[in-house]
Amino acid sequence: MSPGEPSEPTERSDSASPVEDESTLVSRQPDGEPLLEPTVEHEGLPDVGSKIGKYELLEKLGSGGMSVVYKAKDLALDRLVAIKLLLPQKNSKQIDSMRFQQEARAASRLEHPNIVKVHDFNVTDDGVPYLVMSYLEGIPLSEEIKKSGGLEPGLWLSIMVQACDALSHAHAHGVVHRDIKPSNFVLCTEKGNQVLKLVDFGIAKIESNEDQALTKTGEIFGSPLYMSPEQCAGSKEVDSRSDVYSLGCVMYEALAGRPPFSGENALATIVKHLNEKPVSLVFVRKDVKSIDAADKIVMKCLEKKPEDRYPDTLSVRKELESAFLRREFKRKKRGYKPLILTAMAIILLPVGISWYQQYQKQAVVQQKKQQYEESIRLCRSGRKHIRESDFDKGLNDLSRSLVLATAAGAPNIYLAYLNAALGNVELRKRNMASGRTYYLKVINLALPPNDRRTVELRYEAYVQLGNDAKYHRHENKEAIPYYKKALINARLLDKTRFIITMLLELNMLSDAIGDKDAAEAYMKEIESYPKRLGDVADAIEDFKQRQTVYTYTERMKKQVDRIQAERALERQKKLERNEKDEAREKESDHKADLRTEQLKKEWGKTILE
């Protein structure tokens, strides 16, 4: 099967295509026989045997409402690939083209054994975009579930652990899949082992400002049988916990042989996701020993509120491993068990558990190390973009850096630094609410005491929060506590300039709210710095500059509008003057022409006489 092939129906609220049915997924068994034949036909598609760039199209695998998938050969590297081509009629719609490009960006970010690999993204000679991926030989998980009626416990556990690994990697790189379902997992065989591959990032969300242009509140993305309640409600606040819910639906179906919710139509199914609880697996798979262990994990994934679920798929993986190590989850077996096998299992089990725990521990440590290193790289890249005044790219890199640092369990001092940097950029972009949120995170983090970096970060956070309250929201009483805490940190830093600046702010605010005693006390303290007048002068200059910047920020737009109006009026007057001058010139030329004709006539008469 090729990755990213059209799978089960996926609902989208695009006005041009409310429901896009891409159910013509084609997969291949080892003998090469297709499980499903393509049924959707479209006009304007390239023919089998033709070439797209360096790729020769060998076979059409499937097509749907958005795209068509071909089996192709990379002529340069002599290998088989899968090419996903946006339908020509969809390429004319900007939103569909942008979403196809976002799929390419989302998939290209990821490099993991359990995620299909993206090799290339380009456009045809006709301007139609296409995505080149690895060609997978395997069958979709949906077919395996349908064939077995419910997976064996051992296979179920192995598949779900791999699914958690794939999604954890995607989430760590800021990608939310939003369309997790059995048909988007492919079971392949690599070196004798069964490997799960996650495919089709067609409606994936990249956690940055880019996705906001493609997603509006009220739009519904996903497959109704596997959509989270927040997806069903059309919320824009869809994060990795939505994928946890969808994974819970897949886990349930893989054991039960049917999804947890299924209505007469898509709307009925959505209502069930929002309001009903699924039937416990205890009543569905009575043949599995201690099914309640699996049921507990699945039901927590299927909680209606995101905060009641597992925070991420890494936590789901740990719970699955824990159940496996306790030997709670296996098929019930009847009959005689030889004592020698039981004795061997008792002897070897502690060794196997110890080795497995050590292996998993090393794998987690290595993954966190890679995430931390990538976070530092993105942080440096973001700072470079900001120095070059490219705030959008800087904000994007810093946001991704914060996500990776959080996933890696980075020290709080580093998280505080990233939050402060993001808050500073948001304020410079005039996104006051976002900047305030980041700075509140800085002061709420548990930072190492008696550390100068802690004091500097908190001083910056309190100053910016005070400035926001005073100069933007005009809440003087709310600003005073922030400035007082900033003053405490300024004293710890022993920087006279900072101290005087905060004292001036507090003096001004106290006077504004009528607290004359406090204002006088702050002024007396300012006057107690006679021996360091240079610092005092610098602080006063900073204060004046701050007053100038923030006090006149609201007036600047009016001034700009007034200047633009004056310039427009001046241009209009100039245009009118030019028109009058042109009219006068034409009149003057006309008079000159008349005078010339008159002179010619008089000269002719003179000659005749």
Strand partners, 190: 193
**Residue 166 and residue 163: Cα distance in Å, rounded?**
5
Spans of the chain below 70 pLDDT: 1-44, 64-65, 89-97, 203-204, 206-221, 290, 324-357, 359-360, 530-564, 600, 603-609
Tokens read off for 262: 């299924």
The pLDDT score that the predictor gives to residue 190 is 83
| 47 given a catalytic annotation | no
CATH entry, 10-334, from 3.40.50.620, 3.40.30.10, 1.10.510.10, 3.30.70.20: 1.10.510.10
What is the C-alpha to C-alpha distance for residues 4 and 140, in angstroms, rounded to an integer? Answer: 11
Backbone angles phi, psi at 575, to 5 degrees: -65, -40
Residue among 9, 29, 31, 26 nearest 61 (CA) = 26
Q: What's residue 47's pLDDT?
A: 85
Residue 430: what pLDDT? 81
3-state secondary structure of 215: coil
Q: Choose among 115, 99, 44, 104: nearest CA to 66.
A: 99
pLDDT recorded at residue 325: 53
Q: Is 501 exposed, middle or buried (0-12, 13-18, 19+ CB in 10 A)?
A: buried
Q: What would the pLDDT profile of 388-407 be if each residue is shown by its tens digit?
A: 888 888 888 898 888 888 88
CATH, range 411-551:
1.25.40.10
Residue 286, classified by CB atoms within 10 Å of its CB into exposed (0-12), middle (13-18) or buried (19+), is: exposed
Q: Contact, 175 vs 204, CB < 8 A? A: yes
User: How large is the C-alpha radius of gyration of the chain?
Assistant: 34
Is residue 19 within a helix (H) or strand (E), and if so which, with residue range? strand 19-20
Q: Which of 18, 13, 17, 37 is nearest to 27 (CA)?
A: 37
Burial of 490: CB neighbours in 10 Å, binned 0-12, 13-18, 19+: buried
Q: How many residues does the chain have?
A: 609
Tokens linked to 234: 């059309």
Among the options 74, 165, 179, 312, which is catalytic? 179
Residue 124, token pair as written in the block: 């045809």
What pLDDT is recorded for position 361? Answer: 72
